[in-house]
Amino acid sequence: MIKVITYGTYDLLHYGHLRLLERAKALGDYLIVGVTADDFDKIRGKINVQQSLEERVAAVQATGIADKVIIEEYEGQKIDDIRKYGIDIFTVGSDWVGVFDYLNEYCKVVYLPRTDGVSSSEIRAKNASLRLGMVGYAPFLRKFYYESKFVNAVDVTGICVPEAGVLDYLGTEIFYTTEYEKLLETVDSVYIHAHPLEHYSLCKKALMAGKHVMCESPLAMTIDECNDLLALAQQRRLIIMEATRTAYITAYARMLLLLKGGKIGKVVSVDATCTSLSSSEQIGRSKQWGSLEAWGPTTMLPVFQILGTDYISKNIFSINNGMEHNDAFTKINFTYPSATATIKVGNGVKSEGELIVSGTKGYVYIPAPWWKTEYFEIRFENQANNKRYFYQVDGEGIRYELVALANAVRNNMPDYYISRNVSLAIVSIMQDFRRNQENA
Ligand code: CTP
């Protein structure tokens, strides 16, 4: 019996896939199809895949051509599979010519001509090109625009900033305006990166105009305003989500799952620090941001996602930098019934930007810059048990949050990365802090 193996993502299964599978089967008597796992695709830089692994496997099975479907989970697995299943022929489409020649050592390698005129990428691009407008702080929007090029479900088509100079970087095919209403007329969704005090009005105008919103956190500066936005989005069946990049980064999301699974026992403390000496360089925001405005939502994210939002009390220490409403350094201690948390943020004050989660069996350590991390460690008393986890990040997480926005819009379901009570808890701290500043 001649055994054949082939691999692919098989997203939105199309005619080209079918032809490939048929010809692969015809090369022998028994066909194994390896479907790539989501994580493996991400590591390969394929972040736009629309269907889940289950859907893609089901589609390949439904063709009835494969005798067996397996999952491809790691680099180098092909050699293992060829040996394990006693494969005679490895085959893929001609878009891979040469790449798998090294497998000739283990079995015969056959490149089948690729079918012209069809690909998953093209179908995805046609399916869902969400027109996105950017508004706010020009230097950061440039970076955002560049990253958006990696996400084919989103097309950044317009920008609203005062400085026409941005077009030197973005090119003239992008629609430029200084009037937000005009931008809204030309897009399906907006990305907002402005001072937090402007968020509410920018989000509200977009929702009123029937546009989906991705806004930097906090969504608003008061609980009432935030509730208003959430209700409006729900009424109008629109997506509103926070653009806190950390939440969309695989390493961070995996760390949360391991904690929920009790890997370090019961969590008793979360300590998160983010500081910068030059805010504009480090996080793409102007000097007018106070440290809590610049970093507060990011540092509060792990606190509320790990310990929940029902803290008993909080205690704030803050140093002003001489400008009105502008804190140079702020430290907040949260007390929970049987846990505690600290956030430290600085804008013009420097500290070690790490995240430490302490538990009854061990602790999680994420070195700076933990908010865009690829790496974390779980450490125990016995160092031999320590484990390191690595998940590659391409860019700074912007492309992942854009994929989440496109998926949320396509499925008409709020994105689940940051829950509503976490968003509201963040707003509540921002609101109290601002009121304290005003009363000081
Ligand atoms: N394939 C093919 N003809 C096409 C598209 C794909 O023969 N028009 C083959 C590929 O060469 C590969 C297999 O089908 O052997 C699975 O390819 P996959 O990467 O899943 O599909 P693409 O359509 O190429 O996906 P993408 O556009 O995301 O790269």
Q: Which atom of ligand 1 is nearest to the CA of 117?
A: 8
pLDDT at 390: 92
Looking at the DSSP assignment, which residues form a beta bridge with residue 387? Answer: 378
Spatial distance between the Cα atoms of 74 and 391, rounded to a whole number of angstroms: 12
**Collapsed DSSP state (helix, strand, coil) of residue 387:** strand
More confident call, 224 vs 142: 224
Average pLDDT over residues 255-282: 87
Spatial distance between the Cα atoms of 395 and 372, rounded to a whole number of angstroms: 9
Flag whether pLDDT at 284 surpasses 70.
no
Tens digits of residue pLDDT in 161-217: 988 888 788 877 899 999 999 999 999 999 999 999 999 999 999 999 999 999 999
pLDDT band at 78 (very low <50, low <70, confident <90, very high): very high
**Sheet containing 355-359: order of strands:** 313-320, 327-336, 339-347, 267-276, 355-359, 363-366, 375-379, 387-390
- What spacing in Å lies between the alpha carbon of 111 and ligand 1's midpoint? 12
On the question of a common fold for 3-121 and 125-245, the answer reads yes
pLDDT at 128: 59
Flag whether pLDDT at 376 surpasses 50.
yes
Q: Ligand 1 within 6 A of 9 CB?
A: yes
Average pLDDT over residues 384-388: 96
pLDDT at 72: 96
Spatial distance between the Cα atoms of 131 and 163, rounded to a whole number of angstroms: 22
Q: Ligand 1 within 6 A of 121 CB?
A: yes
Tens digits of residue pLDDT in 103-152: 999 999 999 999 999 999 888 877 757 999 999 988 889 889 999 988 88
- Residue 266 token pair: 């019961």
pLDDT at 281: 46
Q: Which atom of ligand 1 is nearest to the CA of 112?
A: 7
Q: Ligand 1 within 6 A of 118 CB?
A: yes
Q: Whose CA is nearest to atom 25 of ligand 1?
A: 120
pLDDT at 286: 55
Contacts (Cβ under 8 Å, ≥6 apart) of 308: 336
Q: Which atom of ligand 1 is nearest to the CA of 49?
A: 28
pLDDT at 231: 97
- Residue 59 token pair: 């589609």
Tens digits of residue pLDDT in 80-97: 999 999 999 999 999 999
Strands (E) located in 194-266: 212-215, 240-242
CATH number of 250-392: 3.30.360.10
Tens digits of residue pLDDT in 12-40: 999 999 999 999 999 999 999 999 998 88
Q: Ligand 1 within 6 A of 115 CB?
A: yes
pLDDT band at 285 (very low <50, low <70, confident <90, very high): low
Count of CB atoms within 10 A of residue 20's CB?
Answer: 23
pLDDT band at 243 (very low <50, low <70, confident <90, very high): very high
Spatial distance between the Cα atoms of 329 and 281, rounded to a whole number of angstroms: 18
pLDDT at 287: 56
Q: Whose CA is nearest to atom 17 of ligand 1?
A: 8
- What spacing in Å lies between the alpha carbon of 9 and ligand 1's midpoint? 8
CATH assignment of 3-121, given 3.40.50.620, 3.30.1360.70, 3.40.1280.10, 1.10.357.10? Answer: 3.40.50.620
Q: Ligand 1 within 6 A of 8 CB?
A: yes
Spatial distance between the Cα atoms of 17 and 19, rounded to a whole number of angstroms: 5
Instruction: Say if CB 332 and CB 264 are below 8 A apart.
Output: no
Q: Ligand 1 within 6 A of 379 CB?
A: no
- What spacing in Å lies between the alpha carbon of 36 and ligand 1's midpoint? 12
Q: Which atom of ligand 1 is nearest to the CA of 19?
A: 7
Flag whether pLDDT at 283 surpasses 70.
no
Flag whether pLDDT at 282 surpasses 60.
no
Instruction: Say if CB 186 and CB 163 are below 8 A apart.
Output: no
Flag whether pLDDT at 53 surpasses 80.
yes
Instruction: Say if CB 52 and CB 71 are below 8 A apart.
Output: no
Domain boundaries, the chain: 3-121, 125-245, 250-392
Contacts (Cβ under 8 Å, ≥6 apart) of 231: none
Contacts (Cβ under 8 Å, ≥6 apart) of 383: none
On average, the pLDDT of the chain sits at 92
Q: Whose CA is nearest to atom 16 of ligand 1?
A: 8
Which architecture, in CATH terms, is 125-245? 3-Layer(aba) Sandwich (3.40)
Tens digits of residue pLDDT in 309-356: 999 999 999 998 777 778 999 999 999 999 999 999 998 889 999 999
